[in-house]
Amino acid sequence: MSAALLHGFILAFGLILPLGAQNVFIFNQGASQPRLRGTLPAVLTAALCDTLLIVLAVLGVSIVVLSLPVLQTVIFTIGFLFLLYMGWSVWNSAPASFNQQKAAMNPKKQIMFAMSVSLLNPHAILDTIGVIGTNSLRYTGSEKAAFVIVCITVSYIWFAGLAAAGRVIGNFDKNGIFLRMLNKVSAVMIWGVALYLAKQLYDIF
């Protein structure tokens, strides 16, 4: 049981740690919302989307996704275009400290945007379904349940912490220097993932 818990924690944390559209969005909402509780719609939506993907992965959907070239092509194509747009949007976005009211989304917009960066990002989908789904195959019964619960819990803790970190940075980074630099670095990383997906499409054809 302890091995499954540790395995699930390290794996989930390793997958969720890299900067990407989802993490940048949560962080920026933390920096732009007047109060930390204002980020709850974004945090909960992102975590629930990850929960859905993890459950689907453990139920074996990964086998279907990874064995159908047509479905892979559709996912990669949509994801490639989506990530190009997200990279452009993040690169050109003003730091929250400069334009706080515009950056701070209302709950409905937070939910819609969080869903888009969580469920339309094929890299996140394939990481969650492919990696977590594959690794869960080594466990059964209570060990598999523990593995899944830990992976899901990491998502909730990470997104809440990310929003809190954004709130702290937003309070201290009055000139927006750090946030501007973070946006640029994040955009480059997002475009890097887009190039990776382009290579995957090339290999398929």
Q: Using only the alpha carbons of the chain, give its radius of gyration.
A: 17
- Say yes or no to pLDDT of 98 above 50: no
What is the pTM for the complete model shown?
Answer: 0.76
Q: Which of 197, 161, 162 is nearest to 182 (CA)?
A: 162
Nearest one of 159, 154, 133 to 5, comparing CA atoms:
154
Kindly report, residue by residue over 169-198, the tens digit of the pLDDT. 877 766 667 777 777 777 787 787 778 778
CA distance between the termini of the chain: 43
The more confident residue out of 125 and 85 is 85
DSSP states of 106-119 as a string?
A: -HHHHHHHHHHHHH
User: How confident is the model at residue 63, as a pLDDT?
Assistant: 62
Q: For position 157, what pLDDT does the model report?
A: 94
